[in-house]
Amino acid sequence: MNNQRFYAFLQRQILLMIGLSLVPGLAYIFLGWLNGVIIPALIWYGLIVTVSLFGWKLYNDFKLEQMSEKALRSWYRKLAAFYYLIFALWTLIFLLYCTETGHNLHYIAIFTQIGASVVASTLLVSDKKLFFPVLIILMLPLIGYFFLIGEWYGYVLSVFSVIFLGVLLYSSDNSYQLIQENYYQAQHDSLTGLYNRRYIVEYMERLIQRLQVSDNFVYILLIDLDHFKTINDTLGHDIGDKVLKEVAMRIKRYCGTTHTIARLGGDEFTIVSGEHNSSFDCKELSINFSETLLQVLKAPYMIDGHHLYLSASIGINGVGNRATDASHFIKEADIAMYEAKAQGRDGIILFNEDLSKRVEYHLEIERRLYFALEHNEIALRYQPQVNKQQEVIGCEVLVRWNNPEFGFVSPAEFIFIAEKTGLIIELGNYIIEEAFKTLREWNAKGIHLEQFSINISVRQFFHSSFAEDVERFVKKYLNNELVNKVVFEVTETILIEDMHRIISAMKRLKGLGIGFSMDDFGTGYSSLSSLREIPIEELKVDRSFVGRVGEHRSDELMITTILSMANIFKLKTVAEGVETEEQFQFLLKNNCDIFQGFYFSKALHKEDFEDYYLKRRVVRPLKGIAYEI
């Protein structure tokens, strides 16, 4: 029996069986008295009472939630014994009465045996190991009895009984198969054959109750495949399904019978370990177990002629006697798994309270961010960009959030939350509108920049109304000359989308006069071919490379490579995060065009930028005469 729910079903039948034995049993005492076999009848009834008491005890002993697997198995063995015994007793009374012709008792005996067979085939239908032998125990004596009559009608009845037994076995077996199939489907994932979410949650609920009694520990793993979506998107769902099946098989093979495995949906799996009696051992084991599992999952996949490489992010959570429910434990494992993703995927993270606090902090930020615009907490800063002569030729607009509770929250922290919640659309529009206002205002004040860069997040870029919104702001605030100075900085993550979509989105904006810059270049997924295809004018060398000039030869090499590549593609280059004279000189020597960083200035208030500009403005000769304002 593989399903614990069937135990509960069989437990309920105990009472019915006791009732059906004790009450009609009294009639058999009376019949025994009529026929002068009262002593055997009383002994028989005494046995019925004894076995019923045994059944009653079994009925009360059953506590599915608190019983360990082992205790359940032992209970089940006793239960099987109960059913065998009680039906054997009914066979006994049959044997006792089938030869009694007085009061035609043999008719009653025959009916009793047929009735008992029907009862057995219905009550025990959920368990083949029970109803099969019990039906044989009940029907064989009947068949033998008819046969031993020695008359032709006896042989006929004997054959009929064999047929009847066959029908009972066949119909019970059919119902049994159907019940099994239904249960199987309700509890399993149809693609991989692993348990499904519903089952594992129920399983864990029972497990948690048991752990509270036993003081044992188990661990759960939440496994999410990295970049699985890419496989589905590029190779199709058929291959995706085959990969999932292979992953499920590897997990199953690795876990053996000691763990319970489920597919929660998509590319998410969960594993629940067996019980351990020390929390420390449990933790150690879970880490070792996960590390090997990661290796198992990372071995190359060969599917329909494709060599595929996968990795996974695993969150681990210890489950002990904390009074929480299963979904809470799964959620905590999920938080740990997300942290593993955030730390670069292909890793294992053990859930802890700090993590949970961080998640809470993020949720709090998420809640407050919602009101940030309304409460005027969002402001813009402008970081100067200078040319080789260190004259200000542009700026990058950087957003700041000043919250009364949290103080200044870094955009590095809240932009991704805004992206996750979709708030980035509203926030992004606000930033664009405010930035355009500044650009116009500066122009009126005689601050003429060559370029004016605004960061655009991927989510914003691919939002359906993005181009329309930008167009509206352009019309409202800018003229042709000004819009040509606007540069949208996008990151390499836009390249995850399909090329066609990127290019058509960019073309519409380019039609307005807006240029594009590839931000954080060299840290993501760019390939040379995509650089050639998408219409960008500028590359920004990521500050992580610039920051290590003079320290790491490989970072310097990265910079020189990016700069010479940009040169080949005729792209303008901006180095960001320039903090020292040495870095500036290195970049100058390698022919970088534009520079940005604390060495020149941090991001400034609008008014401070104006002052800064006036000190370092570009002095252009006008009609041959140098002029100053």
Residue ranges in contact with Ca ion by CB under 5 A: 455, 489, 519-520
Rg (CA), the chain: 39
Q: Which one, of 470, 440, 471, lies nearest residue 456 by Cα? A: 470
Least gap, CB of 579 to ligand C2E (angstroms): 4
Among 221, 398, 478, 571, binds ligand C2E (CB under 6 A): 398
The verdict on 390 binding ligand C2E (CB under 6 A) reads no
Q: Which of Ca ion, ligand C2E, none binds 116 (CB below 5-8 Å, type-dependent)?
A: none
The verdict on 177 binding ligand C2E (CB under 6 A) reads no
Q: How far apart are CA 320 and CA 316, in angstroms?
A: 13
Tell me, by CB under 6 A, how many residues bind ligand C2E: 23
Give the CA dihedral 32, 35, 40, 44, nearest 10 degrees: -20
CA angle 178, 182, 188 (to 5 degrees): 140
The verdict on 524 binding ligand C2E (CB under 6 A) reads no
Question: One symbol per residue from 365 to 384: x for binding ligand C2E (CB under 6 A), - otherwise; what is it?
Answer: ------------------x-
The verdict on 410 binding ligand C2E (CB under 6 A) reads yes
Q: Which of ligand C2E, Ca ion, none binds 577 (CB below 5-8 Å, type-dependent)?
A: ligand C2E
Rank residues 332 and 489 by Cβ distance to Ca ion and give the closer one. 489
Rank residues 174 and 410 by Cβ distance to ligand C2E and give the closer one. 410
DSSP state of 495: G
Tell which positions 558-597 bind ligand C2E, by CB under 6 A.
Answer: 576-579, 596-597
Least gap, CB of 313 to ligand C2E (angstroms): 23
- 325 beta partners: none
Label residue 444 exposed, middle or buried (CB < 10 Å: 0-12, 13-18, 19+). exposed
Among 457, 526, 573, 590, binds ligand C2E (CB under 6 A): 457
Rank residues 252 and 548 by Cβ distance to ligand C2E and give the closer one. 548
Q: Which of ligand C2E, Ca ion, none binds 337 (CB below 5-8 Å, type-dependent)?
A: none
Q: Which of Ca ion, ligand C2E, none binds 598 (CB below 5-8 Å, type-dependent)?
A: ligand C2E
* Options 266-274, 304-312, 363-371, 404-412: segment touching ligand C2E (CB under 6 A): 404-412
Least gap, CB of 523 to Ca ion (angstroms): 9
Quickly count: other Cβ atoms within 10 Å of residue 460's Cβ: 24
Where are the extended beta strands (E) located within 173-304? 218-225, 260-265, 268-272, 301-303
Residue nearest to ligand C2E (CB): 597
Rank residues 100 and 538 by Cβ distance to ligand C2E and give the closer one. 538
The verdict on 412 binding ligand C2E (CB under 6 A) reads yes
Structure-token match 């939630």, residue found: 65
Rank residues 68 and 421 by Cβ distance to ligand C2E and give the closer one. 421
Where are the extended beta strands (E) located within 283-377? 301-303, 306-308, 312-319, 347-350
Rank residues 111 and 462 by Cβ distance to ligand C2E and give the closer one. 462
Tell which positions 538-557 bind ligand C2E, by CB under 6 A.
Answer: 543
Rank residues 141 and 577 by Cβ distance to Ca ion and give the closer one. 577
Quickly count: other Cβ atoms within 10 Å of residue 451's Cβ: 20
Give the CA dihedral 323, 326, 331, 333, nearest 10 degrees: 90
Rounded to 5 degrees, what are φ and ψ at 117? -65, -40
In the chain, the amino acid numbered 585 is Q
Contacts of 113 by beta carbon, 8 Å cutoff, 6+ apart = 90, 91, 94, 138, 139, 141, 142
Q: How far apart are CA 377 and CA 391, in angstroms?
A: 32
Among 207, 431, 487, 592, binds ligand C2E (CB under 6 A): 431
Q: How far apart are CA 542 and CA 575, in angstroms?
A: 7
Q: Which of ligand C2E, Ca ion, none binds 399 (CB below 5-8 Å, type-dependent)?
A: ligand C2E
Least gap, CB of 460 to ligand C2E (angstroms): 7
Among 399, 470, 482, 506, binds ligand C2E (CB under 6 A): 399
Quickly count: other Cβ atoms within 10 Å of residue 502's Cβ: 21
Q: Which of ligand C2E, Ca ion, none binds 483 (CB below 5-8 Å, type-dependent)?
A: none
Where are the extended beta strands (E) located within 486-598? 486-491, 515-521, 538-541, 572-575, 594-595
Contacts of 490 by beta carbon, 8 Å cutoff, 6+ apart = 456, 458, 461, 516, 517, 518, 519
DSSP state of 601: -
Among 598, 605, 611, 614, binds ligand C2E (CB under 6 A): 598
Rank residues 434 and 520 by Cβ distance to Ca ion and give the closer one. 520
* Options 17-25, 125-133, 294-302, 407-415: segment touching ligand C2E (CB under 6 A): 407-415
Among 100, 519, 538, 593, binds ligand C2E (CB under 6 A): 519
Least gap, CB of 383 to ligand C2E (angstroms): 6
The verdict on 274 binding ligand C2E (CB under 6 A) reads no
- Cα 199 to Cα 112, 186, 326, 330, 488, distances in angstroms: 41, 8, 11, 13, 49
Taking each helix axis as running N to C, give the angle between helix 411-421 and helix 424-444, from 0 to 180 degrees, rounded to the nearest 10.
130
Site residues (vs ligand C2E, CB under 6 A):
383, 397-399, 410-412, 415, 431, 455-457, 519-520, 543, 576-579, 596-598, 603
